[in-house]
Amino acid sequence: MAGRRSERLSHKQIFTYLMMGAVVCMLLPVRVTNHLDHVLSVLVAPFSKGSQDMSLMVTDKIHQDDSGEVPSDTPEEPVDATIQDTNRLVNIEQELKYYKDLTDRLSGLRQNQSLDRARLIVAYITGSDSSNQREVKFLDRGTRNQVESGQIVIGWPKQIYKDNILNDEETDAIYEQALSGAVVGRISDAGSWTSSLQLISDPGMAMKVAIEPAPQRREDWRVKGILKGKGLGQISVHLIPATVPVKTGDVVLARSDDEGLPMDMIIGYISSCRRTEKNPVEWQILVQPAVDLQNLREVVVIKR
Amino acid sequence: MRWFNFVLLLFVTLVLQLGVGRLFGVGPQRVMPDLLLLLAVVLAFRGPADQALIACWILGLVKDLSSQAPLGSYAFAFGLLAWAIVRLREMFYGEHPITLIVLTFLCSFLAEIFVLFICSLKKVMEVESYTSFSLVIMFSAMLTAGLAPYGQWLILKLHRQLGLPRRRIYGR
């Protein structure tokens, strides 16, 4: 009929309403909208993990020699083996300190669980954040697997997991590999089936840490500080007084606490430490992670 | 536009972005191109105006859901940039790849700067050095722009499946 307006929405009207909806969503608190992120992860996770595995298989094949066999003494192996051994040495030393403290506290004070008794949940990396600004990985475990926000995550060097994909029943193997690994981040958000791993280099990351001298220095001191991710792969430690004899190569440990980590564990090593005129009372420390954060494939979530 | 096929293409792009993007990233920070924005720019440049706007908004929403940015920020940015491209595209000579490369670079840079601004406002992340982040954003925009001609070639190959016209549409 002439003059009767069509009730169907035009594409322009739909677009206008969608843009208004986007503005409203931007005004909502982040904790409300974060839950929706995992809806998409559940659908995409199997495919992105598959594509990741396939591309890693292809790149591994490219590095093989013409004979089709992996050379037994490739230049990479000694370096990875040294990192593994150093990580293991540091973590075992911390475990020894833990048990020494435990024997001192056998008078009946509350006892913490060590790493081997804590529940270790194996999880696989299914993808990365789609923007360059954040350092977040997605895991294929969620609240249904008892993964919760705030739990600490351990990863290990690429050389270990190359041929050894773990499952949840191999608790001894998981524990042994975890000792050769390092803290790589924390669960920032957990959905039912998937969760988000915030890496230590992420701009929003802050963690209590301690610095101890490198094993070869044979010194005995310890200083506490705060680790902060600066984004772009950089990690810094703050609140370390300039009077402490910190040097490149010293060990940065994630401090144990009642909620996250049962015992101190290695995060990385100091890659640079200097004093600046702007703030002469404090060291400007940058940290090299003990594990390559971009090549993670499987990790372990520590449940307390 | 054939929306089912568009959703399939969107899904494949998302899987590549999440699963493979960082693995083949460039540099120590593993900077990766923005495949979702690339698809949005090509659709806005080539597709029917009204449907391209909605498609670009959907691409932005998907990027919101697959990143840690506040929900709505990429959707708004993509929608706004698509609207600008649709309004101005008849002024551009679309057959030369340089046009699309420059357009993609500008859109990628502006979208990321906008989202970085929103993230700082909402205190989602601490930014110590805006200069460093801007450099990474610019580098990512350059990578995305470099892939623009190939993205356009792929969309042209799939134009029948996506329900897009073979030639560029002039006028709104």
Nearest Cα neighbor of A216 from A75, A77, A93, A115 is A93
Residue of chain A whose alpha carbon sits nearest to that of B64: A37
- pLDDT over 50 (residue A27): yes
Question: Per CATH, the architecture of A206-289 is what?
Answer: Beta Barrel (2.40)
Asked if A15 and B57 come within 8 Å (Cβ–Cβ), the reply is: yes
> What is the average pLDDT across B138-164?
90
Domain map (residue ranges) of chain B: 3-162
State the pLDDT at residue A240: 93
Burial environment of residue B86 by CB neighbours within 10 A (0 to 12, 13 to 18, 19 or more): buried
State the pLDDT at residue B11: 92
- DSSP per-residue codes, A204-261: T-EEEEEEE--GGG-----EEEEEEEEETTEEEEE--BTTS---TT-EEEEPP-SSS-
Q: Which of A155-159, A297-301, B154-158, B160-164 has the lowest mean pLDDT?
A: A155-159
Among candidates B69, B76, B126 on the partner chain, residue whose Cβ is nearest the Cβ of A19: B76
State the pLDDT at residue A60: 67
Average pLDDT, chain B: 88
Band of residue A77 on the pLDDT scale cut at 50, 70, 90: very low
Among candidates A55, A126, A230 on the partner chain, residue whose Cβ is nearest the Cβ of B128: A230
Chain A residues whose beta carbon lies within 8 Å of the beta carbon of residue B10: none
Nearest Cα neighbor of A304 from A118, A96, A174, A175 is A118
Give the B window 70-129 contacts with A, CB below 8 Å: 70-73, 75-76, 79-80, 83, 112, 115-116, 118-119, 122, 124-129
CATH of domain A76-201+293-303: 2.40.10.340
Whole-model pTM?
0.82
- The amino acid sitting at A169 is E
Q: Which of A113-117, A150-154, B98-102 has the lowest mean pLDDT?
A: A113-117
Give the tokens for residue A46: 């199997």
CATH of domain B3-162: 1.10.1760
Same fold, A76-201+293-303 and A206-289: yes
Band of residue A2 on the pLDDT scale cut at 50, 70, 90: very low
Give the tokens for residue A191: 């959905």
Give the tokens for residue A168: 């949840």
Domain map (residue ranges) of chain A: 76-201+293-303, 206-289
**Residues A35-45: b if buried by 16+ CB within 10 A, e if exposed:** eebbebbeebb
